[in-house]
Structure 1
Amino acid sequence: MDSTTRPEVSTSDRPRLARHVRLAFNPARQQHVLQLPETVVVLNASGAAILELCDGRRTVAEIVAELGARYESVPDDEVRRFLTRLVARRCVEPADG
């Protein structure tokens, strides 16, 4: 695998926020944000809903199923692409074990 290829998040992965990242609600913006050292990432409602379920215990498939119970349509591939981008940015990591 070359440096431009990043591994895709699979449905069996158990994602969690990286230790240096915090999910918070910003009252001034009225939006959820990811707080990283020296950076804040503003999330839309879909992104916040996904990340709230990334606890290291649920698989991606379980996260998609939970979101599907809350909302009408939750494309599995879009959830995996979102998480893959955050893994590449080191905001999300797979849980150990």
Structure 2
Amino acid sequence: MNDVSSDAIPKLPRGVRLRHDEVRGEWLLLAPERVLKPDPVAVAVLERCDGVRTVTAIVDDLATAYAAPREQIETDVKAMLRDLADKRVLDLG
């Protein structure tokens, strides 16, 4: 497992999208031939993976939005991004 760079600019790759299922009232990460159900924390991170913001900007935004320790958020966000990239549902450009 290699570390995610703070300068990486994560984005959903072509064919993958984050969608809210109104009927079930839950978020879904739709990828070719599979569906992932991200928890609310993952949704907050994924909504910020716009192909423009760096990991640092995402972490800073989350730390401010949730008034949580930046170091903990950074560790958790990087681990989540690495996991999603390993599953090929996130690009770490």
Q: Is the shorter-chain TM-score for this pair beyond 0.5, marking a shared fold?
A: yes
Tell me how far apart the structure 2 counterparts of residues 8 and 39 of structure 1 sit (CA, whole Å).
Answer: 25
The yes-or-no answer on 1:19 pairing with 2:14 is yes
Kindly indicate which of the two structures has a greater share of residues assigned to helix.
Answer: 2
Shift of 1:29: 2.5
Where in structure 2 are the equivalents of 1:11-90 lying within 5 Å?
11-73=6-68, 75-90=73-88
Output the aligned Cα RMSD: 1.2
Cα displacement string for residues 6-50 of structure 1 (whole angstroms, at most 9, x for unaligned residues): 322111100000112010001122121100112110111100010
Cα displacement string for residues 56-77 of structure 1 (whole angstroms, at most 9, x for unaligned residues): 1100010011111210215211
* SS of 1:46 mapped into structure 2: helix
Could you tell me which runs of 5 or more consecutive residues in structure 1 were left unpaired when the two chains were aligned. 1-5
Aligned length: 90
Could you tell me which runs of 5 or more consecutive residues in structure 2 were left unpaired when the two chains were aligned. none
Tell me how far apart the structure 1 counterparts of residues 64 and 26 of structure 2 sit (CA, whole Å).
Answer: 22
TM-score in terms of structure 2 length: 0.89
Q: Which runs of 4+ in 1 moved over 6 A?
A: none
